Chain A
C-alpha cells in the first residue's frame, strides 16, 4: 500500500484555562491516503474543526498540541517553526472554511487575493499568475471569469463566493484540502454543485480531501472513508459503505440513522437522546456512556481507545473484543 499523505498520531490538543486544562482533542489518530476523501462527522463541538486547525497549525491561543504527531508526506509538521509552516499552508495543504461570506477580504478584488496567494507559493509573474487565476475561476464554474475576476467579493452570490474560495484554496495545487463544512452556509440548491466542483478539481490534481460536515448524505456520496468524532475523540473510523451499512459504535449507529434513504428502515431512524458533554464535564470511562443504549459496567470505569477490530476499521467501544484501553 502507498504511504499516507497525512498521518495523525495520538493528537491531543489542550486549552489551559483558569479552571484547569480543557482537552479539546484526545488521542486522535488517522491517515489519509493520496487522492482519498476522508469524511469527518460528529455533533457540534466534537472537535472536527479543531482537528483541521491542528493539522494546518492554526489552533487559537492559548490552545496547543500537548501530545502526538502530525506527518505530511512523511515529514513531521506539528512542530515546524512558523516560517516553515507558512510554506505548508496554501502550498501543500489547502483550507476551505464554512462561510464564504466572511472568508474573503471585502476590500480586495478577487484577482488581487488569488494573484497574491499564487505568487506567495509559485514563482510566477503577475501576468502569469493572473492568467492562472482566470483559468482556475473558469474551472470552478464562475461564468465570464476573465471579467468577473476584477470584481469585489460582495459582488458575488454565496455559491459563487464559495467557488472563489475553492479556487483560492487550490491555486497552489496542494496535496491535501481540508474543507470545514464548505456548504453549511450555502443555499441547499447549490450545495451539491459546490461539493462536485471541489471533488472534481481535487480528483484532477490528485489532492486528498478531509471533508468535515454534519451532512451524512454528503459523506455517503463523496467520501471513501469516514471518521466519526465524539467529545474530542474518534469513536469509529472505516470505509464509508461499511460504516453506513454496519456501524459498530452505538454513537455512529445513531448518527447513521440520520441518513435519509429511499426505503426508510424505521428501526434505524433512531434519535440519540441527550447531548454531548461539555469538555469540562466528560464522564469517566467511555465519554458516550450517559447516552449509550448498550452501556455496561466496564463503560463507566474504563475508557476505550479507537482500536482495530477488522482490517481498516477502528472502533472505541467495549462491545467489541480486542479494544484497548486509552
Chain B
C-alpha cells in the first residue's frame, strides 16, 4: 500500500512539473510581462531596470526554477488587471467554485447512480425509456444552452430562483459561504443543476451499463440460486461491483466539474475562479492564467490520487500480499 502511494505520488509530482513548465511558458512568453505591468509612457530605460530586477534577463532554467520555487510557496505574482496577489485572488474566489462544484457533484452522483440503477433493474419500464431519452438530450445539449434555458424558465418566466450571482454570503473568516443563507442556497440551485447535468447523464449511463453487465455474471446467478433476497442481490452484490468503475469516472468527472465550471460561472455570473479566469483571459492577465492552469492541474492530480486509493480500498483483488 505504501509503495503504491509513493509511486503514485511520484507520478503526480511529474505531472505537476510538466504543467508547471507549460504554465511558466505561458507566463513568460505570452505577451511581455513588463509591457503589461507598466504604462506605455514608461521610459525604455526604466523598463530595462525593472526587467533586470524581476530577473527576466536570467537564463530560462533559472527563471523556471524560480517560478517553481515561488509556486511551491503559493506565489504567482501580481494580477495585472486587479493589482492584487494572484494567490489571494484565487483563494478568495475558491469557496464559490468549490461550493458550486461540490453541490453539482452531489446532484450528479445521487441522481446518476439512482437513475442508473433504476434503468438497469427495470429496463422494460416506460419510465426507464423516458429517462434514457432525456439523458440523450442531457449529453448532447451544450451547458450554456441548458443554463440559459433554466434561467428562462425558473427566473424569467416563473420568477422562483435568481438568475445570477451568489446571493448573500456569510464570512467565516477563511471561507465565504453561500450555504448558510436562503438567498445563497436559492442562487446555488440553477448553476449547480446546470453544471451537474452532463456528469449526471454520464454517471447514469455508466452505472446502467455496468449494472446490466454485472447482473449477467455467474456470481449474481449463484447468489440467486442461493435464495438471497432481491435487495441483497441488487444493492449488495450487484451495486458494489458496479461502483469500482463508477468511482473512477466520478472522481475524474469531479475534476472536470471544476474545470467546466468556467462556462456555468460565466452564464450565471458566479463569482468563482472560473469567471476570474475568463475575465483574465479577456485582458491577457497572464499571472492569473498561469496560476489557474496550475490550480486545475493540482485539482486533477489530487482527485486522481484519491480515486486510485479508493479503488484500492473497494477492490480487494488490487491489494497485494493476498
Contacts and interface: CB of A to CB of B under 8 A. Distances in A.
Nearest to B214: A105
A102 interface: yes
B219 A152 contact: no
Contact of A168 (B226, B237, B244): B226
Interface string A156-192: 0000000001001100100000000000000000000
A2 interface: no
A103 interface: yes
Interface stretch (A82-90, A127-135, A253-261, A266-274): A82-90
Interface in B175-225: 217-219, 221-225
Contacts of A87: 227
A123 B246 CA distance: 36
Interface string A67-96: 000000000000000100011111100110
Interface stretch (B13-21, B114-122, B313-321): B313-321
A87 B229 CA distance: 9
Given A102-B219, A117-B227, 7 more contacts: A87-B227, A103-B218, A105-B223, A108-B240, A151-B322, A155-B322, A172-B227
B227 A91 contact: yes
Contacts of B241: 105-107
Interface residues of B, number: 24
A325 interface: no
Contacts of A152: 316-317, 322
Interface string B219-252: 1011111111110100011001100100000000
Contact of B314 (A107, A120, A169): A107
A3 B316 CA distance: 47
A120 B218 contact: no
B21 to A, nearest CB: 41
Interface in A94-114: 94-95, 97, 99, 102-108
Contacts of A117: 226-228
Contacts of B217: 102
**B contact patch SS:** helix
A221 interface: no
B227 A97 contact: no
B219 A154 contact: no
Interface string B134-162: 00000000000000000000000000000
Contact of B232 (A82, A99, A116): A116
B222 A89 contact: no
A58 interface: yes
Contact of B219 (A89, A94, A95, A103): A103
A278 B224 CA distance: 29
A58 B228 contact: no
**What is the size category of the interface that chain A forms with chain B?**
20 to 34
Contact of B225 (A89, A108, A151, A154): A89
Nearest to A118: B226
A227 B218 CA distance: 26
Given A56-B225, A58-B224, A106 B317 contact: yes
A121 interface: yes
A155 B236 CA distance: 21
Nearest to B218: A102
11 contacts: A56-B225, A82-B230, A86-B228, A89-B226, A90-B225, A95-B222, A95-B226, A97-B218, A104-B222, A108-B237, A154-B322
A97 B237 contact: no
A97 B226 contact: no
Nearest to A156: B322
Contact of B224 (A89, A106, A108): A89
Contacts of B314: 107
A58 B218 contact: no
A20 B207 CA distance: 34
Contacts of A91: 227
B225 A58 contact: yes
Given A107-B241, A152-B317, A165 B222 contact: yes
A58 B227 contact: no
B225 A99 contact: no
Top 9 closest A-B pairs, CB basis? Answer: A90-B227, A89-B227, A95-B225, A102-B218, A90-B226, A152-B316, A103-B222, A155-B322, A105-B219
Contacts of A155: 322
Considering residues B227, B230, B322, which has the most beta carbons from chain A within 10 angstroms of its beta carbon?
B227
A116 B237 CA distance: 11
A87 B223 CA distance: 13
Contacts of B315: 106-107
Nearest to B217: A102
B316 A99 contact: no
A12 B237 CA distance: 32
Interface in B266-322: 314-317, 322
